Structures are given as C-alpha cells and as structure tokens.
Amino acid sequence: QNRIVHDVNNLIITLAARQKIDLQDITTVICAGNTAMVHFLLNLDPTRIRREPYIASAGFVPPIRAAEAGIQINKRGLLYCLPSVAAYVGSDIVAGVLTTRIFTKKGISLFADIGTNGEVVLGNQDWLVCASSSAGPAFEGSGVKHGMRAGAGAIEKLAILDDGSFELKTIANTHPVGICGSGLLDTLAELFTHGIIDRTGRFKPNGQPRLTEGNEGWQFQITPAGNEHQEIVITQADIDNLVRSKAGV
C-alpha cells in the first residue's frame, strides 16, 4: 500500500503543480485499477482473488476520506474507487467502458484492455459481456529484452518505410531507451508486413541488414547504439513471448 500511495501522491503533486493548483483545493480523488491494485490501495486482503472461488474481498467500496488511505489532498477530501466487476475484471475496465461509452451505441463494439491480464468487453446499448484471460506480462515489457512500461523514452509507434528506414515515435519525444506494448505490436505488424517474419512469428533470414544472429539467436535491430542511447533490438525469444501473450487474448 505504501508504494502505491506514494506513487499516487507523486502523480497528484505533479499534476497540481502543472496546473498551479493548491493541494488543499483538491477535494475529490477518483481511482480505477485492476481489482488487486484497488485492494492494495485500500489495504484490503487480496488473497481471496487467487483462491477458489476467486471472489474479491470487496467489489464496491463506499467513498472514504482520502487521508485514511494516505492521499495528500484536503484533509476532508474524499477518495472514490470505481467498482470492479469480478476478481479479474477490475474497475479499470469499468472506466474504459464509461470513457468509450460503448454502452450507448447501437452497433456492437469490442473494448480490449491488454496487460498481464487481458480483458475484453463486447456489446452495445442493449447488452454487454466481458471475459478475462491471463495474457502474460509481455505487452507490459516484461520478458522482452528491451521492453519497458509506457514511460518517457519508450518507443510507442513504429513504421518501416519503403526504403527500409524506420519511423519511430517515443513517449515524451525523447531518445529511445526501450519499447512498450503498443510499440511491440507495431513492430510485429511491420515485421510481418515486410516479410521479415513469417505468419508463425519466425524470422526469415533473407539478407535484411538489420537482422543478425546474436548470443540469443536471431535478432532485429530497431535502433542502433548512439551517444545518448543503447542499441534496441527485438529477439526471436521476444517474439515468441508476444505471440503467446496474443494467443492468451
């Protein structure tokens, strides 16, 4: 709980400073997250989430004083946590449905949240169904050689141009230091589109200069090493992990 509250407070302080708002003028904080994270934030016992019949200690918690959770806003301010649907369908999914407003549309929409757990919601204004699956941590950068969370310097968009050069976009427009989930998906799509990997995700050694054999087998160079950043590659093992994560979804 202490680590989560510390990060939440840092986010609030950063946003308040950016908007020139006094912390004492903030009277409401609304949080959404997966069921386990909300339990940690509120200091609830999360062990039931992992044990049959996989029912969380609480799916909905009434508003509490933010100070009770250690959140540093007005001492009379309130903390609201959006409700979870189930142990593995958290309030982050509820927030996504509310934001996209797929429940107001006549046509059928599919909303997907891909992380360590993958959740999908399908439906329209008349009905909604949801399901979750363990997708593995690859889309969040874990188990990938140069994978990282979606932070400053993470490659979030990638395109291979007709001349073979790369067009990259990093979060915060800084030098690339790694690659996050959206960048990994772009990379897989571009490698397949340009015939560098086959439909099973295996590299096709075809004279591509960026494709080399390293200590861990075949790897594809995304960015070369520079004065201010390291070489970034995607390996065959990385692709295998990503394919497994995709299969889970």
> Tell me, what's the pLDDT at 176?
92
pTM beyond 0.75, yes or no: no
What's the pLDDT score for residue 186?
94
Per-residue confidence (pLDDT) for residue 138, from 0 to 100: 78
What pLDDT sits at residue 85?
Answer: 92
Cα(232)–Cα(17) distance, integer angstroms: 34
- Give me the mean pLDDT over the 77-87 stretch: 94
Three-state SS for 18?
helix
Domain 2-134: CATH class, spelled out: alpha beta
Q: How many CA atoms lie within 13 A of 175 on its CB side?
A: 10
Domain with CATH 3.30.420.480 in the chain: 2-134
- Please give the share of the chain, as a percent, with pLDDT higher than 90: 69
Q: Tens of pLDDT along 90-140?
A: 999 999 999 999 999 999 999 998 877 889 999 999 999 999 987 777 777
Residue 88 predicted with pLDDT over 80: yes
Predicted local distance difference test score (pLDDT) of residue 246: 81
Q: Tens digit of pLDDT for each residue in 159-181?
A: 999 888 889 999 999 999 999 98
- Count Cβ atoms within 10 A of the Cβ of residue 207 and give its class: 0-12 exposed, 13-18 middle, 19 or more buried: exposed
Of 21-25, 34-38, 135-139, 229-233, the least confident: 135-139
Strand-strand pairing, 117-123 and 109-114: antiparallel
214-226 confidence digits (pLDDT tens):
888 899 999 988 7
Q: Name the band, by pLDDT with cuts 50, 70 and 90, for residue 227.
A: low
Mean pLDDT of the chain: 91
Instruction: Classify residue 164 as exposed, middle or buried by CB count within 10 Å of its CB (0-12, 13-18, 19+).
Output: exposed
Q: Cα torsion for 63, 69, 75, 80, to the nearest 10°? A: -30
Higher pLDDT, 9 or 225: 9
The pLDDT score that the predictor gives to residue 226 is 72
Beta carbons of 113 and 96 less than 8 angstroms apart: yes
Amino acid type, 60: F
* Crossing angle of the two packed helices 181-193 and 236-248, in degrees rounded to 10: 110
235: pLDDT confidence band, cut at 50, 70 and 90? very high
Task: Residue 116: name the closest of 147, 95, 137 by CA.
Answer: 137
